[in-house]
Amino acid sequence: MLVKIWKDLLRKSSKAKAPAMIYKDLTFIQRVLRDITDEDVDAIIVDSKGVYHQVEKFINKYLLSMKSKVRQYSEDTPIFEHYGIELEIERGINNKIYLKSGGSINVDQTEALVSIDVNTGKYVGKKTLEETILKTNLEAVKEISYQLRLRNCGGIIIIDFIDMDKEEHRDTVYQALLEVLKKDRAKTNVLPISGLGLVEMTRKRTRETLTRILCNTCPYCEGTGRVKSPITVCYDLIRELIKVVKKAKSQKIYVYAHPEVSAQLCGKELDIIETLEEQYSKNFVIRAENSYHIEQYEIYAHEF
Ligand SMILES: [Zn+2]
C-alpha cells in the first residue's frame, strides 16, 4: 500500500506545477482501514452511503484482498445497536465484567497500574471446584486479553487469578495467556505466575485509553469514587451548627442540606438537634435541598 501511495505521489509530482498539492494525509476512515484491516477481519460494514463509497474507492485502490468483505448496512436499527457495539462499549468502561460461566473479572485502572481480579461465581462443591476454577481462569484469560485491547490499557498490569492448587493448572492458564496475547498488536511482556498467584505483565500502548477518550472524571466525587456518607455529613454539619449558634443573635437558624442528610437530622439525629435547640434557646428550621451535593450544606442565621 505504501509503495502504491509513493508511486502515485511521484507520478503526480512529475505532472504537477508548483504550487500544487500532491499528497494529503489520510482521512479518519482511510486510517482505520489502513491500521486495523488484516486477514482476521471478516467484514467491513458501513452504515453511511457516502462513507461506503469512500471505503470502496480506497479498497479498490490499496486493499484489493478486502474487496469482497465490504458491505453496506441499511437496516432501521442503528448499526452499533444491531451488532451489540453499544453493549461492548459499556462493558469496556465498566469495572466489573461478567463471564459466561458465572464468574467475573474486576478491572481497576489507576495512574500507576491496571489491576485485574478474577472471581468465581457460585460455589459448586469441593469435587468439581478445582475444575471450575481452571475453567473460570481460562475464560478470564480470553476476556482479559480482549478487555486490554478494547480499553487500550498500558503500562504495568497485574492479574490476580483465582488460586489454583495444581501446578499443572497454573501452567495451563499461563500458557493460555501467552497464546491469546500473541494476537495483541501492542507489545506485551508477561512474567510467570508468582507464588501468590499473580501475573505481572506490561503492555505498550500508544493511544489514549478508552475511558480517557469516552469519560470525564466524575464531578460529583472528583474521581475518588467516594463521597462522605449522609451520617458523616450530618456530624460535620452539627459541629458547624454548634459554632454558628454560639455566635448567632437571632432565634431562628436555617439549615439547608441534601435530602438524605436532612432526613437524618430530622430522624436519627433529632435528639441532638432538640438538645441543641434547648441548650441555646434556638429554633432550627431544617430544609431539604434537592439540588445540593450530598456533602453540601448551608447554615444561616437568617432566612435566605
Ligand atoms: Zn463519582
The conformation of residue 225, written as its DSSP 8-state character, comes to S
Percent over 70 (pLDDT), the chain: 98
Question: Ligand 1: distance of its center to the CA of 230 in Å?
Answer: 15
Residue whose C-alpha cell reads 497464546 in the numeric block: 179
Q: Of 54, 12, 50, nearest to 33 (Cα)?
A: 54
Domain 230-300, CATH number (from 3.40.50.10490, 3.40.1260.20, 3.90.950.10, 3.30.1120.80): 3.40.1260.20
Give the distance from CA 282 to its chain's centroid. Answer: 49
3-state secondary structure of 130: helix
Q: Are 17 and 43 in contact (CB under 8 A)?
A: no
Question: Ligand 1: distance of its center to the CA of 105 in Å?
Answer: 21
Question: Ligand 1: distance of its center to the CA of 227 in Å?
Answer: 7
Which residues have C-beta within 8 Å of that of residue 72, sequence separation ≥ 6? 45, 46, 47, 49, 52
Averaged confidence pLDDT in the chain: 91
- Cα(262)–Cα(158) distance, rounded to whole angstroms? 43
303: pLDDT strictly greater than 60:
no
The reported pLDDT for the residue numbered 197 is: 83
Q: Quick: pLDDT tens for 16-70.
A: 888 999 988 888 998 888 887 777 889 999 999 999 999 999 999 888 888 899 9
The reported pLDDT for the residue numbered 129 is: 83
The reported pLDDT for the residue numbered 26 is: 85
Q: Return the percent helix, strand and coil in the chain, to nearest 5.
A: 45, 15, 35
Question: Ligand 1: distance of its center to the CA of 262 in Å?
Answer: 21
Q: Where are the domains of the chain?
A: 2-78, 85-214, 230-300
Q: How far is CA 152 from CA 157, 186, 203, 253, in A?
A: 12, 9, 9, 53
The reported pLDDT for the residue numbered 202 is: 97
Q: Quick: pLDDT tens for 267-286.
A: 999 999 999 999 999 999 99
Question: Ligand 1: distance of its center to the CA of 229 in Å?
Answer: 13
125: pLDDT strictly greater than 70:
no
The reported pLDDT for the residue numbered 91 is: 92
The reported pLDDT for the residue numbered 127 is: 65
Question: Ligand 1: distance of its center to the CA of 159 in Å?
Answer: 25
The reported pLDDT for the residue numbered 123 is: 62
Q: Quick: pLDDT tens for 187-235.
A: 999 999 888 889 999 999 878 899 889 999 898 998 888 999 999 999 9
Q: What angle do CA 237, 241, 243 make, to 5 degrees?
A: 125
Q: Which residue has the higher pLDDT, 4 or 161?
A: 161
Q: Quick: pLDDT tens for 241-265.
A: 999 999 888 899 999 999 999 999 9
The reported pLDDT for the residue numbered 249 is: 87
